[in-house]
Amino acid sequence: MTDPISGAKRTQEQAVAAWVNRLNEVRLETLFARLERHADDLDEALSLVDAALRRIDLEVVARNRGGVKGMHGFIAEVAEVGVGNARARIVGEAARYGWVNDNGPVDLLRDGVEIQQKFVAAGGRLGLGAIGEHLNKYPDFIRNGGKYQIPADHYETIRDLHAMSATDASKLVAGSGDGPSYRDWLRVRAFFGTGRVDVDSLEPSALDYADVQRGSYTATLESEKDSLRATARSQRADASAAERASIREAGKATIAAGVVEGVTTFVTAVVRKHRAGTPLAQFTAGDWTEVLGESGVGVVKGGVRGASVYTLTNLAATPAAVASALVTASFGIAELANELRTGTITESEFIERAELVSLEAAVSAVSSLVGQAVIPIPVLGAVIGNTVGTVMYQTVSDSLARRECELLERYADEQRLLGERLTSEQERLVDRLRSAASTYVAVLDRAFSPDVETALAGSVALAIEVGVASADILDSDEKTAAYFLD
């Protein structure tokens, strides 16, 4: 049978391929899981916005809750809950907002924090007057950790005015116009100047003041759904980019495969020398140099194998077992080509051995694929399949080789006996031919003798020699007279 060391090395090669293949599988499984999770997150987020839309339609607008002047406040509360929870869900987080809906000091709860919304534009005070009134009624609201939430555009204006110096404020317009006025700056300064409210006690809503009006909330929430879909697309793109085959991962596969094959080559080289009769303790410097040289070549081959398998599996959709077999066959044929160039083997030997190398690599690949399919355990299935398949192939090929040798040997014996028999017959026939030729020449001499009597007797003898029937031979006076006269 084939050397077990060769079989072990082939198994190691397929193990490396199976490991690289497992790396790819893990990466793809992670990608599919992330994509599936993002799809679920998007569905849940969209359903939260739809639920907010239905609630506003049925519980606020249909009931005319808050009337003409106060309806947008209730719309804002429900919309904030829907949008806030949807934005949390799209990134995989749990719902954060809850709608209190009891006309008490708290409108919303977010992660346990009490929130009072003030979507007020009347009086041009950006809702600060409404905050002051609420604080008069509930003076401990801020001390208890409560937050005042105002429209996002109002919050931005208040923050800008609060941070503005008197010099810059003096350059603002005196009255109404585009943007805040100097009077707005004075109101903000006076409000926070009392010390009752800190600017950090305010926070922006997810929506602007105009977004939650009766005529605009539907478009606002539909736009939010579009934004959620855009976020999901971005998440999918990020997930695909993060789990894409990379040069960094290819480098890891190259290094790992090189180390594994280098170690395997080192061990097999030591074992081969030991089996050749050299005890380990008697290894010379030359022996170790040879072993390390082979190990270095093994590291290079392993690195090429790891990089090739990783590249072929990710760019050419080639099964890892097949990719490794291609690399193995390439190495083997390259070595044979070098032997052919140096004259070590003939062209016919090169072709025969190249076919054998390719066949063995193909058997290894198919065995690994079948083993992985039958035993769906990463790497282990491929290793077992390769081992069993290689042993079966070696057993069958060795058996066939023995049968072929027996057939060839039997054929050679038959040809040898046939040759001996034909040689004997040839010699016998040559002797007969030589004797017949001698007799024929002697009879021919007599037939053409100058003496008539001798010639006549010789002619009769010649006719008999060449096979003329005795009845047709004129060997008497009666036959002669009858032939010429009758």
* pLDDT of amino acid 445: 67
* pLDDT of amino acid 369: 46
- Reduced to 3 states, what is the DSSP secondary structure of residue 116? strand
* pLDDT of amino acid 260: 64
Alpha-carbon 181 to chain mean position: 63
* pLDDT of amino acid 204: 96
* pLDDT of amino acid 383: 43
CB 16 within 8 A of CB 257: yes
Buried b (16+ CB within 10 A) or exposed e, 133-172: ebbeebeebbeeebbbbbbbbbbebbeebeebeeeebeeb
* pLDDT of amino acid 245: 67
Q: CA-to-CA distance for 181 and 232, rounded, in angstroms?
A: 41
Buried b (16+ CB within 10 A) or exposed e, 44-57: ebbebbeebbebbe
Q: pLDDT (tens digit, 0 to 9) for every residue of the chain, 486 residues total?
A: 445 555 555 555 666 666 676 676 777 778 888 888 889 999 999 999 999 999 999 999 999 999 988 999 999 999 999 999 999 999 999 999 999 988 889 999 999 999 999 999 877 778 899 999 999 999 999 999 999 999 999 999 999 999 999 999 888 876 556 678 888 899 999 999 888 899 999 999 999 999 999 999 999 999 999 999 999 999 888 888 777 766 677 677 677 666 666 666 666 666 677 667 777 667 777 777 776 776 676 666 666 666 666 666 666 556 665 666 666 666 666 777 777 788 887 877 777 777 666 656 555 555 444 444 544 545 444 444 444 444 444 544 444 455 555 655 665 677 778 778 888 888 888 888 777 777 666 666 666 667 666 666 767 776 776 667 777 666 666 776 666 666
Cβ burial of 204 (10 Å; 0-12, 13-18, 19+) is middle
> Per the confidence metrics, is the pTM higher than 0.85?
no
Output DSSP code: residue 470. Answer: G
Residue 158: name the closest of 101, 102, 118 by CA: 118
Q: Cβ atoms within 10 A of the Cβ of 430, count?
A: 10
Output DSSP code: residue 57. Answer: I
